[in-house]
């Protein structure tokens, strides 16, 4: 069964989702990968304003360029583990739902559990499939970073799997890999 | 002597780069179609279907199969009877990478310095490996190597007295550690022997081999098959979500060895391992 959800995701919906659920998201999400995470972290630590509204869903992705007439190029998830060092601080500061691919470390798991957040694993390597689910894209910050900039995306029926739920269950560590 | 102009080389490399990075390899597509019939786990079946849907969308919309269109790696085998005209071969290949990346709307993933990290905005430089062979042709093999999987490669300098099981243990450890992060099912390249750098080169080159073709040496073909079986028992599964398809194939390339060592390099190719070869 596929659970349809809208962003920003209401707290009672977050609470009801379980690790292993297949979901499809509709609404606005923001891309942020390595360098954007570093910059967001620096801004939070320096008490500066952020280019992304608090409570937004962060998507670890760096799209390929759009062909003329297209909204975006290929836009699948990148490896979440590289964001682990930044995620707990971002979760504590309101970014408690994130989407990437693969494993997270214990600190991320703890932060998500404590703040009743969510980590979704998107289908790694399926950038063309995600291209079809993105209806609008706008670069809103760090343009000089090219694909690593922050893009505001409007997505429809964006597929993912709940990897870490708000109770702290992790799909990847449930059984030995 | 056969003259080949750098203008021709740039054009050919440009086309090669563009096509390689966009689509799933046909032999891997066929493999997925067969695998989905055999797969018993319902979730794994569903996840495999996503890979096929992705490959079909990439074809239909000319949008890259994966957004990480990779570091462009070119293996260039030059026949010794070829004479390159009209300038530098190296510059012509780099220009081809630049043009192919632009025309194919590939992602610009290369930064010019590992510390300063400013994007070159051209997807160059690529990595070019040259070798001189007999004949009057040039063979270009391109690997568009994404970094989610490249980051998970490892090398181990085993003792010369290491057993087959020691080699297997190391390779399986690397595959297990790559886990869900490197976009399984994997296409694994293994380099055995030579020096540390030679083993790594062999492991990378092994990714060019087609699915189902085994090493000519019987004992290495057996090792490939045994590693494949054991890797598929790790329950990594497509996209790391479980199931018994963790690896598409295992390819070993070997070279002579020093009496004091046994280098083993493992290059993890993701399900989006994108390679193509042309001859001019
Ligand atoms: S590991 Fe491969 S499939 Fe996954 S994001 Fe990187 S290039 Fe794409």
- Domain membership of residue A173 (yes or no) is no
- Domain membership of residue A138 (yes or no) is yes
Ligand 1 centre distance from Cα of residue A115 (Å): 30
- CA A17 to chain B, closest CA, distance in angstroms equals 17
Per-residue model confidence (pLDDT) at position B43: 87
| Entry pTM | 0.94
* Chain B interface test: which of A35, A61, A64 (most B C-beta within 10 Å): A64
* Ligand 1 atom nearest to B273, measured from its CA: 2
CB contact (8 A) between residue A129 and residue B57: yes
At B205, the pLDDT band (50, 70, 90 cuts) reads very high
Interchain CB contacts (distance < 8 Å): A and B: 147
**Average pLDDT, whole number, for chain B?**
96
**Average pLDDT, whole number, for chain A?**
95
3-state class percentages of chain A: helix first, strand second, coil last, to nearest 5: 25, 30, 45
In sequence order, the β-bridge partners of residue B119 are B111
Q: B48 near B36, Cβ under 8 Å?
A: yes
Q: A134 near A153, Cβ under 8 Å?
A: yes
CB contact (8 A) between residue B148 and residue A171: no
d(C-alpha B126, C-alpha A155), whole Å: 33
Q: B263 near B207, Cβ under 8 Å?
A: no
- CA A124 to chain B, closest CA, distance in angstroms equals 5
- Domain membership of residue A152 (yes or no) is yes
The half-sphere exposure of A4 on its side-chain side, counting CA atoms within 13 A, is 5
d(C-alpha B191, C-alpha B32), whole Å: 25
The reply to whether ligand 1 has any atom less than 6 angstroms from the CB of B149 is: yes
- Domain membership of residue A133 (yes or no) is yes
CB contact (8 A) between residue A124 and residue B183: yes
A124, A129, A130, A131, best to mutate for ligand 1 pocket (most atoms within 8 Å of CB): A124
Using a CB-CB cut-off of 8 Å, the residues of chain A touching B64 are: 64, 73-74, 127-128
The half-sphere exposure of B163 on its side-chain side, counting CA atoms within 13 A, is 3
Average pLDDT of the residues in B68-78: 98
Using a CB-CB cut-off of 8 Å, the residues of chain B touching A132 are: 57, 61
d(C-alpha B257, C-alpha B246), whole Å: 30
At A102, the pLDDT band (50, 70, 90 cuts) reads very high
CB contact (8 A) between residue A175 and residue B176: no
The reply to whether ligand 1 has any atom less than 6 angstroms from the CB of A124 is: yes
The residue of chain B nearest to residue A124, with distances taken between CA atoms, is: B183
- Domain membership of residue A55 (yes or no) is yes
How many folded domains does chain A comprise?
1
- Whether B247 shows a pLDDT value over 70: the answer reads yes
ipTM: 0.93
Three-class SS state of B279:
strand
Per-residue model confidence (pLDDT) at position B40: 86
- CA A71 to chain B, closest CA, distance in angstroms equals 12
Partner-chain residue, chosen from B46, B61, B67, that has the shortest CB–CB distance to A63? B67
CB contact (8 A) between residue A67 and residue B62: yes
- Whether A175 shows a pLDDT value over 80: the answer reads no
d(C-alpha A129, C-alpha A145), whole Å: 24
Per-residue model confidence (pLDDT) at position A24: 98
At B216, the pLDDT band (50, 70, 90 cuts) reads very high
Which domain, by its residues, includes A141? 2-160
In sequence order, the β-bridge partners of residue B156 are B264
The reply to whether ligand 1 has any atom less than 6 angstroms from the CB of B106 is: no
pLDDT digits (tens, 9 = 90+) for B177-193: 999 999 999 999 999 99
Percent of chain B surpassing pLDDT 90: 95
- Domain membership of residue A169 (yes or no) is no
What is the residue with the minimal CA distance to atom 1 of ligand 1?
A: B148
- Domain membership of residue A168 (yes or no) is no
Closest of A85, A106, A105 to residue A40, by C-alpha: A85
Closest of A85, A81, A75 to residue A172, by C-alpha: A81
Using a CB-CB cut-off of 8 Å, the residues of chain A touching B183 are: 101, 124-125
The residue of chain A nearest to residue B122, with distances taken between CA atoms, is: A146
B227: Cβ–Cβ under 8 A, 6 or more apart, which residues? Answer: B168, B171, B172, B188, B190, B250
pLDDT digits (tens, 9 = 90+) for B130-178: 999 999 999 999 999 999 999 999 999 999 999 999 999 999 999 999 9
We report the CATH number of the domain holding residue A89 as 3.20.130.10
Q: What DSSP element (H or E) covers A89?
A: helix A87-92
Per-residue model confidence (pLDDT) at position B132: 98
What is the residue with the minimal CA distance to atom 3 of ligand 1?
A: A125
- Domain membership of residue A177 (yes or no) is no
Percent of chain B surpassing pLDDT 70: 100
Per-residue model confidence (pLDDT) at position B117: 95
Q: A120 near A161, Cβ under 8 Å?
A: yes
More confident residue, B105 or B41: B105
- CA B127 to chain A, closest CA, distance in angstroms equals 20
Q: Is A19 on the interface with B (CB under 8 A)?
A: no
């Amino acid at each position: 069964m596929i659970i349809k959800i809208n962003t920003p995701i209401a707290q009672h919906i977050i609470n009801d989702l379980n690790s292993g659920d297949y979901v499809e998201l509709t609404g606005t999400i923001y891309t942020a990968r390595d360098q954007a995470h570093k910059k967001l972290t620096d801004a939070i630590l320096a008490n500066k304003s952020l280019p992304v509204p608090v409570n937004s869903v962060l998507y670890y992705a760096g799209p390929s360029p759009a062909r003329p007439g297209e909204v975006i190029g290929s836009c699948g998830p990148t490896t979440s583990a590289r964001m682990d060092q930044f995620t707990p601080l971002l979760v504590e500061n309101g970014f408690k739902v994130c989407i990437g691919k693969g494993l997270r470390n214990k600190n991320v798991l703890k932060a998500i559990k404590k703040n009743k957040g969510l980590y979704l694993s998107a289908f790694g390597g399926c950038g063309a499939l995600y291209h079809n689910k993105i209806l609008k894209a706008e670069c809103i910050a760090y343009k000089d970073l090219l694909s690593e900039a922050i893009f505001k995306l409007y997505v429809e029926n964006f597929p993912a799997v709940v990897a870490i739920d708000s109770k702290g269950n992790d799909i990847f560590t449930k059984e030995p890999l | 002597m056969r003259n080949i102009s750098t203008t021709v080389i740039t054009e050919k490399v440009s086309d090669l780069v563009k096509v390689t990075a966009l689509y799933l390899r046909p032999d891997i597509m066929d493999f997925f179609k067969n695998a989905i019939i055999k797969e018993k786990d319902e979730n794994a079946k569903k996840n495999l279907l996503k890979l096929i849907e992705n490959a079909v969308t990439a074809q239909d919309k000319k949008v890259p199969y994966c957004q990480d269109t990779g570091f462009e790696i070119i293996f260039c085998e030059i026949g010794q009877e070829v004479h390159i005209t009209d300038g530098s071969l190296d510059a012509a290949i780099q220009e081809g990478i630049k043009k192919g990346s632009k025309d194919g709307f590939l992602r610009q993933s290369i930064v010019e310095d590992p510390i300063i990290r400013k994007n070159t905005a051209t997807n160059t430089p690529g990595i070019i490996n040259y070798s001189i062979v007999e004949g009057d042709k040039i063979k270009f093999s391109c690997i568009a190597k994404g970094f989610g999987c490249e980051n998970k490669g490892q090398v181990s300098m085993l003792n010369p007295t290491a057993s087959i099981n020691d080699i297997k243990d190391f390779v399986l450890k690397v595959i297990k550690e790559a886990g869900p992060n490197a976009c399984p099912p994997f296409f694994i390249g293994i380099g055995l022997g030579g020096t540390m750098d030679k083993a790594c080169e062999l492991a990378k080159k092994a990714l060019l081999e087609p699915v189902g073709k085994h090493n000519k040496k019987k004992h290495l073909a057996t090792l490939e098959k045994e590693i494949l079986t054991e890797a598929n028992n790790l329950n990594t599964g497509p996209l790391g979500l479980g199931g018994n398809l963790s690896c598409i194939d295992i390819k070993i390339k070997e070279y002579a060895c020093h009496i004091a060592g046994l280098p083993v390099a493992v290059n993890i190719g993701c399900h989006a391992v994108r390679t193509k070869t042309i001859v001019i």
